[in-house]
Amino acid sequence: MQTDQGNAVPGMDSADNGQWHGGLERELTATAAWSRMLAGNHRFAEGKAEHPWQDRETRESLIDVQTPDAAVLSCSDSRVPPEIIFDEGLGDLFTIRSAGQTLDDAVVSSIEFALNALHVSLIVVLGHQNCGAVAAAVKELETLDHACDSDSIIVRSVGASVEQARQAELDTPQDFERVHVARTIEELVSRSQDIRRALAQEKVMIVGARYKLTTGNVEVLSF
């Protein structure tokens, strides 16, 4: 994997723009959704957020149905709310959040629900700068032989990403955060037959990204 700054990250096969490409129609829908999200992030970072689709009419139109374009798996960190940093509105994003965007059965099932029941064409895995889960994993690894020795599912998950990064001679918090996004995508695909099938049938596109607290910008990660 490479970031938009050219930093290599191990563990993912090469593809353009951090995406697994789907069928033409789904790909166009997913690409349009991702472009809209990035445009919203640009507005947010520039202090020009529009806060779209947050009026009473939109709320009332969504009482009985929702048709989000994208599912976003992000960290629970209070500084990284996807709807805000992408300047999205009601009904736009199906958001799942856990510390360090850690996967468990509930998280995977939630993403599968978005895919199968809501027919999202885009899945975004979003890490971020100064991730507390990454810092906690790095600190605990100082006293452990391996991440798998930890009693914490978060440390086991994030710590495994830290160990993978270090094996590739990457040893900064930024490296750990980027590798963890890549590894989370790998693990998500590995754990979910539904997602593997959707990828094989060209029904979904997966994107990795990292939010920068210092600038407000989303860094697109390419694999």
The span from the CA of 179 to the CA of 141, in Å, is: 16
The CATH number of the domain where 211 resides is what? Answer: 3.40.1050.10
Task: Output the CA–CA distances (angstroms, integers) from residue 154 to 39, 132, 149, in the order listed.
Answer: 32, 11, 12
Per-residue DSSP letter, 4: T
Could you tell me if 140 and 159 are in contact, meaning their C-beta atoms sit under 8 angstroms apart?
A: yes
Assigned domain for 172 exists: yes
Whole-model pTM: value is 0.88
Instruction: Tell me how many domains the chain contains.
Output: 1
166-222 pLDDT, tens digit each: 999 999 999 999 999 999 999 999 999 999 999 999 999 999 999 999 999 999 997
3-state secondary structure of 150: coil
Counting residues of the chain whose pLDDT is more than 90, the rounded percentage is 84
Q: 209 is in which domain, residue-wise? A: 2-47+67-222
For residue 129, is it within any domain? Answer: yes
Q: How far apart are CA 12 and CA 35, in angstroms?
A: 23
Q: Does the residue 54 lie in any domain?
A: no
Phi, psi of 145 (to 5 degrees): -75, -40
Least confident of 76-80, 107-111, 141-145: 141-145
What whole-number distance in Å separates Cα of residue 1 and Cα of residue 183? 10
CA separation for the pair 9, 183 (Å, rounded):
10
Question: Which pLDDT does position 207 carry in this prediction?
Answer: 97
